[in-house]
A and B are shown apart, each in its own frame.
Chain A
Amino acid sequence: METVIAVLSWFCLVTGSAFAIIGGIGLLRLPDFYTRMHGGGITDTLGAGLIMVGLSLQAGLSLITVKLLLILVFSLVASPTAGYALAKSARTHGLEPWKREDDR
């Protein structure tokens, strides 16, 4: 049972880190603001969430797990909201999305 939890938490941590790295590469390589928000926001939320799930699996049933799950809930709510607010305000101020015909 211990090894199962350890392997599961290891898997969650590694996958979460991989998602975070993919999100970072996306922030660098994607062509414009909206695509970067899409790539960065989604993968970062998922990556951070998976890392927290992995950490709470390692912590077992304790106060630390409760705190970690609360942080997970808050970050799941706040991070996409922040991305949405940024994208919406960029749209309101007239930032045009990138199209395939653009030279980038």
Chain B
Amino acid sequence: MTRLTILRVVSKWMVPFILLFALYVQAHGDLGPGGGFQAGVIFAAGIILYSLVFGLEAGRRVFPPRVAESLAALGILLYAGTGWAGLLVGGWYLDFPALNPHHPSHGQHWGIFAVELGVGLAVAGVMTSVFFAFAGRKGAS
């Protein structure tokens, strides 16, 4: 826990906005620059800021490394699973328009949404767990 009060107060205000911004970037991949990769990195940056200011133990309590690893694997499974969904409906692997035969554009939209969510979860999980692995070593400040 850092002793500087100003850092603690400012981070306490900024971390929710950072996480909210990560969600915003994730959801607005269709309308502007954004998407899964950026959202995952920004989410991880928010968690890392919290851990740096409030201490590694507090960061581990908020976002346990097990959860981070599970989220990473879940993201990959989500991505691959959406591909399987295309197979189950009768199309190809990762065939999004086949998900909704009446409205192929809706199928595209849902497929892209699910896939970007998978990418975001995977990236956020990987970045956070790598940071916790680095920071938890002996000799780290």
- A residues apposed to B, CB below 8 Å: 74, 77-78, 81, 84-85, 88
Contacts and interface: CB of A to CB of B under 8 A. Distances in A.
A88 B14 CA distance: 20
Contacts of A84: 4, 6-7
A81 B17 contact: no
B10 A88 contact: no
Interface of B: 4, 6-7, 10, 13-14, 17
Contacts of B17: 74
Given A84-B6, A85-B4, 14 more contacts: A74-B17, A77-B10, A77-B13, A77-B14, A78-B10, A78-B14, A81-B6, A81-B7, A81-B10, A84-B4, A84-B7, A85-B6, A85-B7, A88-B4
Nearest to B9: A81
Q: Which of A77, A78, A81, A84 has the most CB of B within 10 A?
A: A81
5 closest A-B pairs by CB:
A81-B10, A85-B7, A88-B4, A84-B6, A77-B10
Contacts of B4: 84-85, 88
A77 B13 CA distance: 10
A26 B4 CA distance: 27
A89 to B, nearest CB: 8
Contacts of A77: 10, 13-14
Contacts of A88: 4
A46 to B, nearest CB: 19
7 contacts: A77-B13, A77-B14, A84-B4, A84-B6, A85-B4, A85-B7, A88-B4
A56 to B, nearest CB: 18
A88 B5 CA distance: 11
Contacts of B10: 77-78, 81
Contacts of B6: 81, 84-85
A27 B91 CA distance: 61
A77 B7 CA distance: 11
A77 B15 CA distance: 13
A83 to B, nearest CB: 11
B14 A74 contact: yes
Nearest to A81: B10
